[in-house]
Amino acid sequence: GMGWALLGVGLLLALYTLLRHGLRSAPRPRARPELRGRTAIVTGGSSGIGAATALELARCGARVILATRSAPRGEAAASRIRRETGNNEVLFMHLDLASLRSVRAFASTFLRQEPQLHLLINNAGVSAGGTTEDGFSLPFQVNHLGHFLLTQLLLERLRSCAPSRVVIVASSAHCAGRLRPERLGRPPSGLFSTFQDYCDSKLANVLHARELATREQGTQVTCYAVHPGFVNTSLFRHAPLWLQALLVPLAWLLFLEAAEGAQPVLDCATRDGLEPLSGRYFTHSGPQVPWPAGRDDRLAQALWEGSERLLGLGTPGG
């Protein structure tokens, strides 16, 4: 009895190990350019892909601002990155994307304290449902609207420090996204509303990058949307326990490590000669054509105008 059970467990573990290593090719560490004298902001920089991205940027000599919600986690991540890289220009600044007031406070503090900005990495994301203090759906606000506002508030600084880049962490989940301009920011209805909401926000990311690139032509501010791969991060920490029980083993099997997920994000942030590809959607294998809704320019423009309207930005008729 016991022997067979142990043998079974052993075989399962062996199979699991084989699968895990067979299905995932180890990332080749890429040579990255020298970034001394450049300043980067990474939202959600205290864990997962954000932390892995921040670590690598710091290693290249950049000044890195971890813009994240939890002060204890943000401070801990900043000091860990300083220690690991020997780069002392890594600091935490508080940013809660679920609060537009917090986004505005972060931007004004940053603009007052930091003279330069070359890289804005809009990485933070949630997959939980719910509503923010501003009355918008949580994934839509954290994943898109808060980042949209942040980008608009920092755009002048990005222009004055150009060439500069905005990297938006999107997802292949945009394939299931549906955006209705007249219902922007309201949670969708139905059984899978939280999942739908997440996919919608990821479609918004792809379209935001596309429209920003169009509007910034000639300014030397370029923009890229990136699907980092299905990465084993804390994105699913709000899923119900029975779903976590299913997702966690699968995640370990198939999802990439955060360091691997950070590679295409870093590529978009640092690779030479990407400027002609501004507005495009990238994956591990380079620029890809997004799903049809992700290349709908009329929808991209409607999303932009709708986002401005929700935020009270933009001038009437301009």
Which residue of the set 16, 198, 224, 281 is catalytic? Answer: 198
- By three-state DSSP, how is residue 225 classified? strand
> Would you tell me how many other CB atoms lie within 10 Å of the CB of residue 110?
20
Catalytic site residue 198? yes
305 phi, psi to nearest 5 deg: -65, -40
* Closest-CA residue to 268 (of 53, 9, 17): 53
> Would you tell me how many other CB atoms lie within 10 Å of the CB of residue 262?
31
User: CA 181 → CA 30, 219, 307, distances in Å?
Assistant: 40, 28, 9
* Closest-CA residue to 97 (of 53, 148, 141): 141
DSSP secondary structure of 124-182:
-------B-TTSSBHHIIIIIIHHHHHHHHHHHHHHHT-SEEEEEE--GGGGG----GG
Cis status, amide bond into 163, omega within 30 of 0: yes
The residues that bridge with 122 in the sheet, in sequence order, are 168
Cite the active site residues. 198
